Amino acid sequence: METMEKKKMAVVTGAGGTLCGPIAIDLAKQGFGIVLIGRTAEKLEKTAEQIRLAGGECIVALGDVKDENRMREIRDEAFRRFGPCRVLVNGAGGNQMDAITTVNEFEPAELEPTHDFRGFFDLDMSRFRDVIDINIMGTVIPTKVFAPDMIRAGGGSIVNFASMNTYRPLSRVPAYACAKAAVSNWTQWIAAYLAPAGIRVNAIAPGFFVNERSRKRLMTPDGGLTPRGEHIHYNTPMHRFGQAEELLGCLNWLIDDAKAGFVTGITVPVDGGFLCSAGL
């Protein structure tokens, strides 16, 4: 179809999530043909429904971003429909409860046979490794698969998802912290590597945005704050959590070749001032 041939293609991984769902919808409203990648069909279909209601076009593609063969299958299907990828948003990632401690620092009882908390020495290393893989390899592999089409088309933009953990390791989330630090480093490395090919690579580091998983740790059933949620509000100068729509301006700037054409290899915090506050 003629309309499909004229569309630029944007690939969004983690497109069923709290943050990347609205990003995918916004890109569709700008005229991109969207490839929605994720592991949960129900979540992806919710995003797809919003895109279609807005008059946009998308492909729902179930797949694990760590599976290179599956990513290549998705690339082939997407290329046939929309042509080469011009924007890649590597939003897939996340954490796992078994890779999170329930205490902020070591307690001697942790070395005893039985105790009623989960410390670092209790963590399931297979789950720890899963967190590393989804956040790091789940960013590297889609880049490897979709960037060659950008090169052949004359350029493109990649936006990775970092975190506040990129800058300082937050308590209780050791696997997620080291993974997100690695995402920023990878962003710099691949930005320098792909610069001669006309591809700009940057990252966004969201502050505290509530999703389904974090809601249980940060908010009470009645909509109030847990002690950890209160601590985050106290240390965020704007004294609130972010809204997904508040990421759109940063992302749209980063992918705009006219307005950010000389910008590559940076990680932009969108954090309500969290990084500029010492909490004192």
- Over residues 211-245, the pLDDT tens digits come to 777 777 787 888 788 888 888 898 899 999 999 99
Q: What is the pLDDT of residue 267?
A: 98
Q: What distance in Å separates the CA atoms of residue 153 and residue 47, rounded to the nearest whole number?
A: 27
Candidates 88, 84, 89, 63; CA nearest to 8 is: 84
User: Could you report the per-residue pLDDT of 17-41, keeping only the tens digit for each?
Assistant: 999 999 999 999 999 999 999 999 9
Q: What is the pLDDT of residue 6?
A: 52
The verdict on whether 193 is a catalytic residue reads no
End-to-end C-alpha distance for the chain, whole angstroms: 59
Domains of the chain from N-terminus onward: 2-207+242-273 (3.40.50.720), 211-241 (no CATH)
Candidates 94, 274, 252, 273; CA nearest to 180 is: 94
What average pLDDT does the segment 78-103 reach?
Answer: 96
Q: What distance in Å separates the CA atoms of residue 139 and residue 91, rounded to the nearest whole number?
A: 8
What average pLDDT does the segment 104-114 reach?
Answer: 96
Catalytic residue among 167, 176, 193, 234: 176
